[in-house]
Amino acid sequence: MNAALEDRLASAPLVAEKPSLIGLSRPALADALREAGVPEAQLRMRAAQLWHWLYFRGATDFAAMTNMAKGLRELLAQRFTLARPEVASEQVSVDGTRKWLLRFPARGAGRPVEVETVYIPEEGRGTLCISSQVGCTLTCTFCHTGTQRMVRNLTTEEIVSQILLAREGLGDFPAAAVAPGAIVPGEGRLISNVVLMGMGEPLYNFDNVRDAMLIAADGDGMALSKRRITLSTSGVAPMIPRAGAETGVMLAISLHAVRDDLRDELVPINRKWPIAELLDACRAYPGLSNSRRITFEYVMLKGVNDSLAEARDLVRLLSGIPAKINLIPFNPWPGSPYECSGWERIEAFAEVVNRAGYASPIRTPRGRDILAACGQLKSASERMRKSEREAISGAA
Ligand code: SAH
Ligand code: SF4
């Protein structure tokens, strides 16, 4: 571990001081209130009030909850916290993209950990890219996160907290002013879209990701549209239909190659669930239609997967699946073994895809100057022992 990180982590609290109420389901919230002594007949009402404060208004202090008796507020404050995660650093790109390095306290036997969350403002929308794990068990060869060993899964609280922290930092809660100097969309919510495209493989932390997405989409709280929440997976085929059934959010697949031999190399999970099996799982994703399509992501790697023959194979492979195609110019990171395809090649590839009826498929790289673009995220948190990770899963 480097010395600076060691210093930072040494100054962080070793364990969370009080449990947080963030990330609990409504019944779990009611249980917490019951333990705090709230009478049975009031539980539902109090849980609904809390939900509104936590997720609609973004309260971080029980004292603000003026429709609850002072005694109850004090009791809750003694037992629970609503604190946001600690911001270890915040960087803003020349294009307005914003990256937070967030530090979460140790859970159980573990150490404090750090993950990255990225905000990408565009003309008509603001997208928050959140992480689901610290590091990743997978080792996709073009991805910076893939070079970091898996440290641990994030808890539901930690996943939800990334959204709350960003909304607070930008001024996206009712009655809040937009943060001075922030580049944000011209109209609508500052964070209108959430993508699980940060660090980690969301389908390897499914329960926590699902619970967090259900909180984000809950109509009495943050009320993000499920059509504007996208879960991206490298291809955990058996979990795909279940993810759709239990979350109802949109799906993106990191395809990146049209042949198994190449995909085995680029996205090694392909050796377990090859392309045909992955696409079968996609066909079984519930609720697909022309207005509800799966996004297939394809990173453009010079001389590796970017021939026009591969573009033609790509559209052939996806025929019959309601799909969007998203070509991602490769974002380099220190020591990365690939180059991004040339712009002419990307355009020619996109042209083949366009002619097959897929609209505007090239994703503009954002925040490259602060290593905030797709696949550039990585934190310095170190691997935990398996027993430590298991202790946390139990505690989550
Ligand atoms: N683990 C999930 C989600 C995180 S990655 C997944 O793999 O889908 C989000 C997207 O960025 C994925 O499509 C991923 O393949 C892509 N990506 C990773 N590294 C990249 C890089 N260096 N340049 C461009 N895209 C990259
Ligand atoms: Fe993990 Fe996704 Fe990166 Fe692959 S691309 S290493 S699955 S974060």
Q: What are the pLDDT digits (tens) for 328-343?
A: 999 988 889 999 999 9
Share of the chain above pLDDT 90, in %: 77
Distance between Cα 79 and ligand 2 center (Å): 38
Mean pLDDT (whole number) for 190-214: 97
Q: How far apart are CA 62 and CA 336, in angstroms?
A: 47
Q: Would you say the CB of residue 328 lies under 6 angstroms from ligand 2?
A: no
Q: Would you say the CB of residue 372 lies under 6 angstroms from ligand 1?
A: no
Give the closest ligand to the alpha carbon of residue 336.
Answer: 1
Distance between Cα 146 and ligand 2 center (Å): 5
Which has the closest alpha carbon to 240: 321, 359, 183, 154?
321
Which has the closest alpha carbon to 23: 54, 63, 46, 52?
54
Q: Would you say the CB of residue 127 lies under 6 angstroms from ligand 1?
A: no
Share of the chain above pLDDT 70, in %: 91
Q: What is the pLDDT of residues 274-303, one digit of tens each?
A: 999 999 999 999 999 999 999 999 999 999
Give the closest ligand to the alpha carbon of residue 150.
Answer: 2
Q: How is residue 357 written in tokens?
A: 């009826």
**φ, ψ for residue 134 (rounded to 5)?**
-95, 110
- The residue written with tokens 């991805």 in the block is 143
Q: What is the pLDDT of residues 55-87, one digit of tens each?
A: 999 999 999 999 998 999 999 999 999 999 999
Global pTM reads 0.92
- Positive or negative: CA dihedral 338, 342, 345, 347: positive
- Positive or negative: CA dihedral 154, 90, 130, 377: negative
254, 295, 338, 346: residue to mutate for ligand 1 pocket, most atoms within 8 A of CB: 254
For residue 6, the model assigns a pLDDT of 55
Q: Does 109 have pLDDT greater than 80?
A: no
Q: Would you say the CB of residue 233 lies under 6 angstroms from ligand 1?
A: yes
Nearest residue by C-alpha to atom 20 in ligand 1 = 375
**In the structure, what pLDDT confidence band is assigned to residue 11 with cuts at 50, 70 and 90?**
low
**In the structure, what pLDDT confidence band is assigned to residue 375 with cuts at 50, 70 and 90?**
confident
For residue 383, the model assigns a pLDDT of 62
Distance between Cα 374 and ligand 1 center (Å): 6
Distance between Cα 200 and ligand 2 center (Å): 6
Q: Would you say the CB of residue 255 lies under 6 angstroms from ligand 2?
A: no
- Positive or negative: CA dihedral 62, 67, 68, 69: positive
3-state secondary structure of 92: strand
DSSP result, 301-344: BTTTT--HHHHHHHHHHTTTS-EEEEEEEPPP-TT-S--BPPHH
Which amino acid, residue 38? V
Give the closest ligand to the alpha carbon of residue 254.
Answer: 1
Q: What is the mean pLDDT of the chain?
A: 91
3-state secondary structure of 159: helix
Mean pLDDT (whole number) for 261-265: 98
Residue 395: Cβ within 10 Å count: 12
H/E run at residue 129: strand 126-129
For residue 10, the model assigns a pLDDT of 52
- Give the residue numbers annotated as catalytic, written as ranges: 116, 374
CB 75 within 8 A of CB 42: no
Q: Would you say the CB of residue 346 lies under 6 angstroms from ligand 2?
A: no
Q: Would you say the CB of residue 148 lies under 6 angstroms from ligand 2?
A: no
Q: How far apart are CA 235 and CA 107, in angstroms?
A: 28
Mean pLDDT (whole number) for 162-180: 94
CA distances from 56 to 117, 124, 220, 293 (A): 21, 22, 7, 29
Q: Does 1 have pLDDT greater than 50?
A: no
Out of 234-243, 346-355, 372-381, least confident range: 372-381
For residue 70, the model assigns a pLDDT of 92
Angle in degrees, 0-180, between the axes of helices 26-35 and 43-51, rounded to the nearest 10 = 120
Q: How far apart are CA 133 and CA 150, in angstroms?
A: 8
Nearest residue by C-alpha to atom 6 in ligand 2 = 146
